[in-house]
Amino acid sequence: MNKNIKNLITILIISLFAFSIVSEAVVSNASAAQIPKSSNVALVPGPSGQAANGGSLPTSGWPNGDAFTFTNLSPDTIMTAATDPLTGFDTVVFVQLYISGDAGSSTNYWADSTFSSRISHFVSNGGKLIIYDSEITTNDYTNFIYPFNSSNPGQTGSEGQTWIVESDTLGSNSTTSSNYVNAPALCNSVAETGDSNVMTSFNQNWHVHMVCTNVDGVTGPVHTYAEFGKGLIIFNGEDMDEMSGTEVSNTDVNGIYGMIFYLELKQSFNPSSLPGTVGVSGIALTTATTTETVGNSHIVTVHMTDVVGSPVAGVTVSFKIDSGPNQGHTGTAVTNANGEATFSWQSTTAGTDAVTATAISPTDHTSTVTSSTNVTWVASQVTVTAAPVVTVTPTPTATPTPIPSPTPAPSIFSGSMLWIIIIIIIILVVIIIIVLLTRGRKSTNQTTVNVNYQAPPPPPPQ
């Protein structure tokens, strides 16, 4: 084989190898990036819901030039399809879905292992799940990813009260924010917020965005969210009757409900970066440090709050060490005016104690709420006193001026720099190929001349 051809093949192999490495870095960099908003949305089973109790989620009319792709998907398909039908979607919306089966469906979808595992896998791997649950009275979420119960008045057409307790990217109280939601305008008979389903038992993974008082007089979280794995779950118990299917604005009830759905779709995820400042459970166990020296006393503090984040006094909290060197140690305390109660203990042995605080919910005064933390005990350091040492003080010398450390160069595997490298590699390969081909032609021409050359005949003898 011609030597130039061999060189050309070698260069091409090396270039392709370098290209694959850089391309892999590009893909890895992109896959690790936060997803800025929903794009491909599965509506289960469709925009008007399985219960079809009135209203329809908007699928057009989005402001700011935004667009989303919607596909209706039967819950039976999620349950029975041979291959996972959720592949290709980044967002799934349960629209008034009888998740546990009732008058609208004899199928208990969540009890089906295929259905529940596909939904759980979808979220944990970075998907977004939005649940619209209004006016369904019998849905059971006690076996859901993060379990909860709710107060469900049904279709009464009643007035209620709704307000935002955490201004964030799902909706803000600030009129100057691009995420503004005119929640006060929903507090009238037209909005029918009295029909809202609100949480009444609280898993500590849920965080509150909006609170509602429904027609049954129950005040609780109506718009909540939770991170699960890499993904995000949003629960919306607000009434859907006034949603028109096209209107998204803050000017009337129809548009405000549409605006809430729009902001749910716009919410970034994987991860969401939502603040989580108001916990649904109303209890948080904290410690100033997770490490303590054996023999010392350690203190943990419980913070009890209501659904709007205000401290709750007079709540009896039970503490228990579930595992560790001090397993079985217990105590009780009552929250003060700041909603705080403390628990302290000592340890004579190194190890990690797992501590749980338990109380009756300050919201419904019935359900139990818990929060946990860990404390690691380490052995004390023994101090050895050495004999006195004579110290010789050297002659002071000038202190050299420290040389600042160089600022690390930015990684080449980031942003558009990766594509620039790829383009440069391609250009270099093309140049090398042209040079080798040109040299090959010259070599061939020279060989032809040498072959065709004939020496002149020798002179005749004298």
CA distances from 448 to 3, 19, 438, 440 (A): 17, 39, 16, 13
- Say which residue, 421 or 300, is predicted with more confidence: 300
Task: Assess whether pLDDT exceeds 90 at residue 88.
Answer: yes
Please tell me the pTM assigned to this model: 0.66
d(CA 245, CA 254) in angstroms, rounded, equals 9
- pLDDT of the residue at 306: 78
User: Among 2.40.110.10, 3.40.50.880, 3.40.50.300, 1.10.1060.10, what is the CATH number of 36-266?
Assistant: 3.40.50.880
Sequence ranges of the domains in the chain: 36-266, 283-378
CA distances from 155 to 51, 96, 141, 216, 248 (A): 11, 13, 20, 12, 24
Mean pLDDT, to the nearest integer, of 341-359?
A: 95
d(CA 250, CA 238) in angstroms, rounded, equals 16
Strand partners, 342: 301
Q: Say which residues have a Cβ less than 8 Å from residue 79's Cβ, sequence separation at least 6.
A: 107, 109, 112, 114, 115
Q: What is the pLDDT of residues 361-417, one digit of tens each?
A: 776 677 788 888 899 999 987 555 555 554 545 555 555 555 454 444 444 444 456
- pLDDT of the residue at 53: 82
- pLDDT of the residue at 164: 93
Token look-up 């949480």 returns 199
* Listed residue (147, 270, 282, 114) closest to 208, CA to CA: 282
- Say which residue, 262 or 383, is predicted with more confidence: 262
* Listed residue (116, 106, 111, 103) closest to 140, CA to CA: 111
Mean pLDDT, to the nearest integer, of 276-305?
A: 85
Token pair listed for 365: 């005064």
Q: ∠375-379-384 over CA atoms, to 5°? A: 150
Task: Assess whether pLDDT exceeds 90 at residue 54.
Answer: no
In CATH, what number does 283-378 get? 2.60.40.10
Identical topology for domains 36-266 and 283-378: no
Q: What is the pLDDT of residues 127-174, one digit of tens each?
A: 999 999 988 888 889 899 999 889 999 888 889 999 998 899 999 999
